[in-house]
Amino acid sequence: MKQNLALFDLDNTLLAGDSDYNWSLFLINQGLLDAKAHQERNEQFYLDYKNGNLDIDKFLEFQLKPLAQHPVKFLDALHVQFMDQVIRPMMTQKAQALVDKHKAQGDLCLIITATNSFVTRPIASAYGIKHLIGTDPEMVNGEYTGGVTGVPSFQEGKVTRVNQWLAERGQKLADFEVSYFYSDSHNDLPLMKLVTDPVAVDADDALTKYAQQQDWPQISLR
C-alpha cells in the first residue's frame, strides 16, 4: 500500500493562535523581556507576516536573541510552563482529530513552520507528530547563539526544506500519489501549489481568495 504525505502548518492552522508571537508575550509576562521595547516590534513583525512583507532575517535576529540570553536548561524548563499555560489552550480537538485521521491512514505526517524549532518541537510532540521542520536556531557547545542554521522554513524556504528532508529519506514529493498541505497563510502558497491536495484552514483573506479561485477545499479547525 502506497503511503501518502500530510504536511501541516502550525501557527493559526493546527494551533488557534501563533506560538512565535505568544512566546514573546510569555517572555514579557515572565519579566524576561522589556515590554515596551519588545512588544511594539513583536506586533509590527506579526503585522508584516500577515501582510506578506516580513523581512525574515530581521525577524529571526529579533526572535532568536532571547534564546542566546539564557542557558538551555532554563529555557527548556520555561517552555514546559509555556506549553501548559499558553499552547495547550490553543490546541483544538478538531486539529487533533485531523492529525489522528492522517496517522490512522498510515500517512507520513510532518509539521512545517517558519517558527523556530525550539518553540515548536514540543508542540509537534504534543500532537503526536514526530517529524518537524522549523527554522533551526544555531547552537554552539550546547547553547543557543541567537543565529540561524540552514534555510529558514518561510515562503519558498518551506519548499527547499521539504525537498531537503525528503531527499534525506531517499524520497521526493513526486513519489507520493497524494500529498496534502494544510495552511492558513498566503505565505505558504509556494508549497501549497506543489502538493496534490492543498487545504486552506481558517485562511487569511489573500489565501481565501486564491483558494476560491482554484477551487481548493477550505476548512476550519476552530
**C-alpha grid cell for residue 99?**
492529525
Catalytic positions are: 9, 11
**Secondary structure element (H or E) that encloses residue 181, with its range:** strand 179-183
Name the nearest CA neighbour of 181 among 143, 214, 151, 146: 214
CB 49 within 8 A of CB 162: no
**C-alpha count within 13 angstroms, C-beta hemisphere, residue 186:** 16
CB atoms under 10 Å from CB of 137, counted, come to: 20
Q: What is the rounded CA–CA span in Å between residue 56 and residue 142?
A: 24
